[in-house]
């Protein structure tokens, strides 16, 4: 899993990198929080969006992925 703070110019780069590495994509940061719907529309191949303060929720997401559990939200 690679985590990028979302900048408009990095969203396609993040997906391309994840595809090459066989990783899942997680977008976060202010843009992802405000424009989550736009991101899902622009990049339906995204695996996860972390909204709000991601310090704790990103760790929780990684733990759920690690143990094969369904992420919350």
> For 12-66, what is each residue's pLDDT tens digit?
777 788 888 888 888 888 888 888 888 888 877 788 888 888 888 888 899 998 9
Examine the pLDDT at 5 and tell me if it is beyond 80: no
- Tell me the per-residue pLDDT of 55-65, one tens digit each, with 9 for 90 and over: 888 888 999 98
pLDDT of 45 reads 77
Rounded (5°) CA angle 25-26-28: 145
Binned at pLDDT 50, 70 and 90, residue 67 comes out as very high
Count CB-CB contacts under 10 A for residue 57: 17
Edge to edge, the sheet with strand 48-50 lists 2-5, 25-28, 48-50
């Amino acid at each position: 899993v690679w985590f990028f703070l979302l900048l408009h110019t990095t969203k396609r780069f993040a997906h391309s990198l994840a595809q090459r590495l066989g990783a899942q994509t997680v977008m976060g940061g202010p843009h992802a929080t405000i424009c989550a719907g736009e991101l899902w529309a622009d990049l339906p191949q995204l695996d996860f969006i972390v909204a709000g303060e991601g310090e704790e929720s990103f760790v929780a997401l990684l733990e759920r992925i690690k143990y094969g559990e369904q992420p919350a939200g």
